[in-house]
């Protein structure tokens, strides 16, 4: 190990750290992503140190200037972290020492790696939450546009993956709009817990120096300050919450992806994906595959795995800090990046899809999904619902056995099942009538969807 690769904690030891042990424990290949956050936190810390006369203003200016130059070097790639540096914090501090000499050592006054890392992580998470909120807003805008475009297009609603009842396509798109809106609400609620400064907690017990943690919190834009120094450095609840929120977003995307994959298949044929967002086969020339949707569905498993990783890391740790927590960064970074990318690409794919309205109109006009309308018609004729359900079931059986669709069953045949049935039954056996007959709150009727669209617009 070369002299310029001195580890920050090494002075207590008489032997150099084993090379293989250093390679095993080095995290610089992962936490190098935090260099901007680390420098920002260090500038806030040294500014406070100068204001509290713990370092001189001249020393603080030297340190801040050096940190600014290091940020440029890291950004432009002229300073390349090596695994021997152990972590990005060592990279920055050692480079600062090369630039300004021993005064660089004053930067760490009153600060531990523990509260430093916790601060960097919260700054990173705050940024990622904002990025994910923005991505969710984007897909919600696409869904709102689709719901408006297809408000009066009738599709099948499904339960148990079986055709259930005809519904407005706009109603379908707004269901996902509401899912992603809840995801955004969860992130906004989480941001309040993320936006708490841990800087000033030091290793875990605080510091004997006259620090002003409220000032560093103010400089870094945190809304509040840690109440307990042990908890400040040993808690990873916010990472667990964030990855959990990401997992929920990915679950919603994965469900949506499943619909897109099914609906774009030849067997369903409800949806066309733009060629710009589909792939072919290296062997079968006719293939058009919904690969973007499939990849999103697959990446959901990665984010689920990340959630189990962080829960498992934390489940047996005694207070306060333990080195196990170094392993929180890979699942955090991967979940944030995977989820933001997935939401953004899915939104673009969705924007470039179109419902096959002619095919849907043909299919919904004569499908068995109109059976519920017969049952409710009978209820309106004062038949108890259980009896109406039984009568309708027999009508459906006759329809299937005789190959006659519900709207084409002769009135005489209908009346063999119940003499209360009259010519007005045929008014119910139209998809538009079925959809618009729904009167309850939040239902699939065109009028109800119009109200939901208005409310969704306010949300955005």
∠ CA 316-322-244, rounded to 5°: 60
CA distance linking residue 349 with residue 413, whole number of Å: 48
Q: Enumerate helices (H) and strands (E) in the chain, giving the number of each.
A: 19, 6
Token pair recorded at residue 373: 């309308």
415 token code pair: 């009346």
The whole-angstrom distance between residue 87's C-alpha and the CA centroid of its chain comes to 28
**Angle 287-289-293 from CA coordinates, rounded to 5°:** 175
Question: What's the helix, strand, coil split of the chain in %, to 5?
Answer: 70, 5, 25
Number of Cβ within a 10 Å radius of residue 301: 12
Which H helix or E strand runs over 321?
A: none
A 10 A CB-CB count for 198 gives: 27
DSSP 444-455: SSHHHHHHHHHH
Note if 160 is an active site residue.
Answer: yes
Write the DSSP string, 43-98: HHHHHHHHHTTSS-HHHHHHHHHHHHHHHHHHHHTSS---GGG-SHHHHHHHHHHH
**Would the CA dihedral through 221, 227, 232, 235 be positive or negative?**
negative
**Active-site option among 160, 282, 401, 440:** 160
Output phi, psi for 222, to 5 deg.
-80, 145
Instruction: Annotate 129-193 with DSSP letters as a single string.
Output: HHHHHHHHHHHHHHHHHHHHHTTT-EEEEEETTEEEEEEEHHHHHHHHHHHHHHHHHHHHHHHHH
Give the start-end residues of each E strand in 228-295: 271-273
Residue 140: CB atoms within 10 A of its CB come to 24
303 and 339 Cβ atoms separated by less than 8 Å: yes
Q: Which of 25, 27, 3 is nearest to 16 (CA)?
A: 3
Residue 166: strand pairing partners: 156
Q: What is the DSSP letter of 424?
A: T
Please pick, among 56, 75, 130, 281, the residue that the annotation labels catalytic.
281
**Catalytic residues, which ones?**
160, 281
């Amino acid at each position: 190990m070369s002299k310029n690769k001195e580890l920050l904690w090494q002075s207590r030891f008489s032997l150099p750290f084993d090379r293989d042990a250093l390679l095993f424990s080095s995290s610089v290949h992962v936490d190098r992503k935090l260099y901007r956050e680390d420098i920002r936190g260090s500038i806030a810390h040294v500014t406070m140190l100068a204001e509290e006369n713990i370092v001189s203003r001249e020393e603080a200016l030297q340190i801040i200037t050096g940190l600014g130059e290091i940020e440029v070097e890291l950004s432009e790639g002229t300073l390349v972290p090596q695994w021997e540096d152990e972590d990005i914090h060592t990279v920055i501090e050692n480079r600062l020492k090369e630039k300004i000499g021993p005064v660089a050592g004053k930067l760490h006054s009153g600060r531990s790696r523990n509260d430093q890392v916790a601060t960097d992580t919260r700054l990173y998470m705050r940024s990622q939450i904002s990025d994910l909120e923005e991505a969710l807003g984007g897909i919600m805008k696409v869904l709102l546009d689709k719901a408006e475009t297809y408000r009066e297009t009738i599709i099948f609603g499904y339960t148990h993956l079986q055709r259930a009842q005809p519904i407005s396509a706009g109603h379908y798109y707004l269901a996902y709009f509401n899912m992603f809106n809840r995801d955004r609400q969860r992130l906004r609620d989480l941001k309040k817990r993320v936006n708490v400064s841990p800087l000033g907690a030091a290793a875990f017990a605080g510091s004997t120096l006259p620090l002003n943690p409220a000032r560093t919190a103010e400089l870094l834009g945190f809304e509040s300050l840690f109440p307990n120094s042990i908890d400040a450095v040993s808690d990873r609840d916010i990472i667990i919450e964030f990855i959990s929120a990401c997992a929920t977003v990915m679950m919603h995307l994965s469900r949506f992806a499943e619909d897109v994959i099914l609906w774009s298949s030849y067997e369903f044929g409800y949806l066309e994906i733009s060629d710009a967002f589909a792939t072919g086969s290296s062997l079968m020339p006719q293939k058009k595959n919904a690969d973007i949707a499939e990849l999103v569905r697959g990446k959901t498993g990665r984010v689920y795995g990340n959630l189990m990783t962080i829960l498992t890391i934390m489940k047996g740790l005694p207070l306060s800090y333990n080195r196990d927590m170094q392993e929180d960064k890979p699942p955090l970074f991967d979940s944030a990046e995977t989820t933001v990318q997935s939401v953004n690409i899915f939104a673009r794919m969705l924007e470039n899809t179109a419902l096959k309205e002619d095919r849907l109109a043909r299919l919904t006009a004569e499908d068995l999904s109109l059976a519920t309308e017969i049952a409710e018609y009978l209820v309106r004729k004062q038949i108890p619902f259980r009896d109406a359900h039984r009568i309708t079931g027999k009508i459906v059986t006759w329809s299937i056995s005789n190959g006659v669709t519900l709207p084409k069953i002769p009135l005489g045949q209908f009346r063999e099942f119940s003499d209360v049935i009259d010519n007005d039954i045929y008014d119910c056996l139209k998809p538009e009538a079925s959809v618009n007959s729904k009167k309850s709150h939040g239902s699939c009727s065109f009028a109800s969807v119009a109200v939901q669209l208005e409310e969704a617009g306010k949300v955005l």
